[in-house]
Amino acid sequence: MYDFLIAPFVEFGFMQRALAGSLMLALGACPVGVFLMLRRMSLTGDAMAHAILPGAAAGFLLYGLQIVPMTIGGLIAGVIVALGAGAVSRFTVQREDASMAAFYLISLALGVLIVSLRGSSVDLMHVLFGTVLALNNDALTLIALISGFTLLTLAIFWRALVAECLDPLFLRSVSRLGTPVHFIFLGLVVLNLVGGFQALGTLLSVGLMMLPAAAARFWTARVEPMCALAFGFGAISCVAGLLVSYHASLPSGPAIILSAGAIYLASILFGTRGVFNTKLRRHRHRTA
Amino acid sequence: MTDACLTFKDLTLGYSSHPAVHHLNGSIKAGSLTAVVGANGSGKSTLMKGIVGVLKPMAGSCTVAPGKRIAYLPQQSELDRSFPARVIDLVSLGLWPRRGLLGRYTKEDREAVSHALMAVGLEGFEKRPIDTLSGGQLQRALFARVLVQDADIILLDEPFNAVDAKTVGDLIRLIKRWHGENRTVMVVAHDLELVRAHFPNTLLLARQPVAWGETIETLRPENLLRARRFDEAWHDDAPWCEPEPGHVHAHSHDDHHHHEHGEVHGHPDHESGPRAA
């Protein structure tokens, strides 16, 4: 048991780093994912993940496979797309889903173009799928900063974020925070995706954000426990994914996301608000 | 005499350059209880949005007396009922004007929320998820939120829609209580009997004010007939109201629209509804 569960993390530095990095990622990304889901923007996360690519690719083109320039590039690209799409939806008749799709497709095509200017498909695979087993100190520091900043921002803007999700028109009638908080939130999404792409790649970093959140929805009907539960699921996925990848010699990023996927599928079936409890089991009902 | 709480100066509100409320002048007195009446499309909800500031005026202005807080209950709430919140979370949103983003909810705040729930007959509903409420229960909860907001000006847009008779009675009692507390209340309503029975003042709208003043005077049959005959459609070929942009006050039909509060009814110039020029 010890050999299977604990030994890999005790014996190997790279496993410790991978675990620390992915847990910190989950700490910031999972609550953000909960709000993305509650705002019906689950696919926005996906779109943003694609949108980051040209920035990361530009960093890669100029400086090679290095974390800092690629992160900064990804951040810039993500913020441009988020602001552009958000502004189009807030100030024109077009809804956010359409404007987001338009912006991220432009961004993705640009990214693939830039990567193909220099580099092989191996490099592209690095950017797309990440390398959680090769996190260096820079990357870990970056992830720690991002998750700390995310938690702090969420704590400060919590009330506004909940109000903006629950009743946006009400928030607009009592406060001018509605629009700013929307953009702050999109900023957090970008930040966490950029933080995640070192470890999981641009395509899969959104998985650690959305899957635990989607799973948590099947267990509770309140926001605070949902965020905590999402982080719990995220953390379990990280540990399980890393172990599976270690023992079965599988790529670790997909293993982590697949673990989260397994939790999600189990939650659909067995969650307190899942299929078995709400649909299949015949409920006794009370007199009032 | 009490002061004006809301002042409309030549207020024109609308969507994509077509006016929905056209050149409204007048004021709402502090502590008054006004019903806003008119057919569908006559600009009632638009006026509410204009007062709250959710919709910016195309011309003219709507001024709120300084220091007066507004509580607004929209007709089509953007409330997301699938959001995982409890009744108490929804009603606690009403604490925003007092506590803002970061202020802690005190013991008094929590008491205010539970008093409000009691006042609307929802005691015991605190922990209920909002997606399990009936339409009437949700409306009560939203009234509780308005109670918690403790505002000087209360705007209710068709609060009696899809609400049973008992609930209407309860909500009317709350509105009267606010009126008694010298708050300024404006309510969009369709039931004229209800308006005659409970509202001292009425504004009759048909994209422009048809009549405005004491309810009995305003809701006279000839006024109602005129209000019914207004033109609801947008006309893309309608001439521009202002000949030159920026000439907000210098439009040509001052004689039609510059009525002071109360002297609108009986004016023969209003028969044909919104004429653009």
Q: What is the pLDDT of residues A124-182, one digit of tens each?
A: 677 677 777 778 888 889 899 999 999 999 999 999 999 999 988 888 888 888 889 98
Is the CB of A226 less than 8 angstroms away from the CB of B84?
A: yes
Indicate the pTM of the whole model.
0.82
Concatenating the DSSP letter of every residue in A101-146 gives: HHHHHHHHHHHHHHHHHS--HHHHHHHHH--GGG--HHHHHHHHHH
The per-residue pLDDT for A120 is 66
**Residues of chain B contacting residue A177, judged by C-beta atoms under 8 Å apart:** 101
Instruction: Specify whether the CB–CB gap between A191 and A48 falls below 8 A.
Output: no
Q: Is A152 on the interface with B (CB under 8 A)?
A: no
> Under CATH, what is the fold of the domain A2-272?
ABC transporter involved in vitamin B12 uptake, BtuC (1.10.3470)
Q: How far apart are the C-alpha atoms of A57 and B50, rounded to whole Å?
A: 47
This complex has an ipTM of 0.81
Query: Mean pLDDT of all residues in chain B?
Result: 81
Helix H or strand E encompassing B56: none
Q: Is the pLDDT of residue B155 over 70?
A: yes
Q: How far apart are the C-alpha atoms of A128 and A120, rounded to whole Å?
A: 13
CB nearest to B93's CB, from A38, A167, A222: A167
Q: Is the pLDDT of residue B269 over 60?
A: no
Q: How far apart are the C-alpha atoms of B196 and B250, rounded to whole Å?
A: 37
Q: Is the pLDDT of residue B275 over 80?
A: no
Mean pLDDT of A260-273: 93
The per-residue pLDDT for B74 is 87
CB nearest to B83's CB, from A165, A174, A177: A165
The per-residue pLDDT for B248 is 44
CB nearest to A222's CB, from B84, B90, B93: B84
The listed range with the strongest mean pLDDT (A118-122, A123-127, B117-121, B226-230) is B117-121
Mean pLDDT of B238-261: 49
Q: How far apart are the C-alpha atoms of A79 and A68, rounded to whole Å?
A: 16
Helix H or strand E encompassing A228: helix A223-248
Is the CB of A221 less than 8 angstroms away from the CB of B129?
A: yes
Residue A127 token pair: 């950017």
Compare A124 and B134 and report the one with higher pLDDT: B134
Alpha helices in chain B (DSSP H): 44-52, 87-92, 96-99, 107-119, 135-149, 165-180, 192-198, 215-218, 221-228, 254-257
How do beta strands B208-214 and B201-206 pair?
antiparallel
**Residues of chain A contacting residue B77, judged by C-beta atoms under 8 Å apart:** 167, 169-170
Compare A49 and B256 and report the one with higher pLDDT: A49
Is the CB of A173 less than 8 angstroms away from the CB of B84?
A: no
CA distances from B182 to A93, B32, B140 (A): 40, 7, 22
Is the CB of A222 less than 8 angstroms away from the CB of B85?
A: yes
pLDDT in tens, B29-77: 889 999 999 888 888 888 999 998 888 888 888 888 888 889 999 887 7
A25: left (phi over 0), alpha (psi -120 to 50) or beta: alpha
Q: Is B56 on the interface with A (CB under 8 A)?
A: no
Number of Cβ within 10 Å of residue A126's Cβ equals: 20
Mean pLDDT of A226-242: 95
Q: Is B98 on the interface with A (CB under 8 A)?
A: no
**Under DSSP, is residue B119 helix (H, G, I), strand (E, B) or coil?**
helix
Instruction: Specify whether the CB–CB gap between A162 and A223 falls below 8 A.
Output: yes
* Identity at A169, one-letter amino acid code: L
Q: Where are the domains of chain A?
A: 2-272
pLDDT band per the 50, 70, 90 thresholds, residue A268: very high
Q: How far apart are the C-alpha atoms of B147 and B116, rounded to whole Å?
A: 6
The per-residue pLDDT for A7 is 83
Is the CB of B80 less than 8 angstroms away from the CB of A170?
A: no
Nearest CA to A151 out of A188, A198, A195, A180 is that of: A188
Specify the CATH number of the domain B4-68+152-270. Answer: 3.40.50.300
Q: How far apart are the C-alpha atoms of B33 and B186, rounded to whole Å?
A: 6
Q: How far apart are the C-alpha atoms of B271 and B265, rounded to whole Å?
A: 11
Q: Which of residues 66-125 of A touch B (CB under 8 A)?
A: none
pLDDT band per the 50, 70, 90 thresholds, residue A279: confident
Residue limits of CATH 3.40.50.300 in chain B: 4-68+152-270
